[in-house]
Amino acid sequence: EKVEITKEQKALTKVIVEAYNRHQIPQDVAKKLLQDQYSVEENFLLLTEMATSQVQVIVEFTKSIPGFLSLDHEDQIALLKGSAVEAMFLRSAQVFSKKMPNGHNGILEERIRKSGISEEFITPMFNFYKSIIGLHMSLEEQALLTAITILTPDRPYVKDHQAVEKLQEPMLDVLRKVCVLQHPQEPQYFARLLGRLTELRTLTHYHAEMLTSWRMNDHKFTPLLCEIWDVQ
């Protein structure tokens, strides 16, 4: 059947894509990845700085999602805490798939592989990255999928599930249509995208264990990361 994106859906997509483009890690922060120390300690510190900057970016992006600031304030916090790691996996995956002009992706991979993360987490992490790269997502799909991940109603401590569903559903509807229009040869593309969200949940579980093992080796995080990840 002919898939039509309505005027409202076009407007919603425009708002989400503009917010996604507007909020990015500042270039001077991203450029730090290129400095030439590659010790485990140095990599951990750099990745901590990247993650801290990325959380700030995600908070600003989330505040631009129509309706988000009208949600219950405690639910706003619960959604951000529950989705931050997944949004950062999506974002760092785009860095790999975008083949950053200044060669970040090779360097970023090397720093992640040598930052004190045990092999049991590195394997699923890079399998996820490979699967995202293989999807060749458009900017609209990346932005909408990030908003959909943040607006997941069944995060821990969310009280008003319905209010979050009401924001997430229109995003899912327009993402489904965007997928059909941008990947006409792949009718299952939308389903594959949603499958990535399921994989993201398992990565969040691994990430909690990564944090524990870093802390056991007395690694310090920034106040913002401690707050969003309930550590220290």
Ligand X SMILES: CC(C)c1onc(-c2c(Cl)cccc2Cl)c1COc1ccc2cc(-c3cccc(C(=O)O)c3)sc2c1
Contact between 91 and ligand X (CB under 6 A)? yes
CB of 91 vs ligand X, minimal distance in Å = 5
Crossing angle for the helix pair 161-182 and 7-22, to the nearest 10 degrees: 100
CA distances from 78 to 27, 64, 101 (A): 29, 17, 35
Contact between 54 and ligand X (CB under 6 A)? yes
Contact between 24 and ligand X (CB under 6 A)? yes
Asked if 151 and 166 touch (Cβ cutoff 8 Å), the reply is no
Q: Stretches 13-21, 48-56, 62-70, 132-140: which one binds ligand X (CB under 6 A)?
A: 48-56
* Beta carbon nearer to ligand X, 71 or 84: 84
Which of the 8 DSSP states describes residue 33? Answer: G
Crossing angle for the helix pair 189-216 and 139-150, to the nearest 10 degrees: 60
Asked if 47 and 112 touch (Cβ cutoff 8 Å), the reply is yes
Per CB under 6 A, contacts with ligand X among 169-198 are none
Q: Stretches 41-49, 148-156, 161-169, 175-183: which one binds ligand X (CB under 6 A)?
A: 41-49
Q: Say how many Å lie between the first and final Cα of the chain, rounded.
A: 54
Sign of the dihedral through C-alpha 49, 53, 58, 59 = positive
* Beta carbon nearer to ligand X, 26 or 184: 26
From candidates 88, 158, 178, 179, binder to ligand X by CB under 6 A: 88
* Beta carbon nearer to ligand X, 159 or 220: 220
Contact between 87 and ligand X (CB under 6 A)? no
CA distances from 65 to 69, 135, 164, 167, 207 (A): 8, 24, 12, 9, 26
CB of 144 vs ligand X, minimal distance in Å = 17
Contact between 131 and ligand X (CB under 6 A)? no
* Beta carbon nearer to ligand X, 97 or 182: 97
CA distances from 186 to 9, 128, 141, 181, 182 (A): 22, 20, 14, 10, 9
Name the residues that contact ligand X, by CB under 6 A: 24-25, 30, 33, 44, 47-48, 50-51, 54, 85, 88-89, 91-92, 95, 104, 108, 112, 115, 221, 225
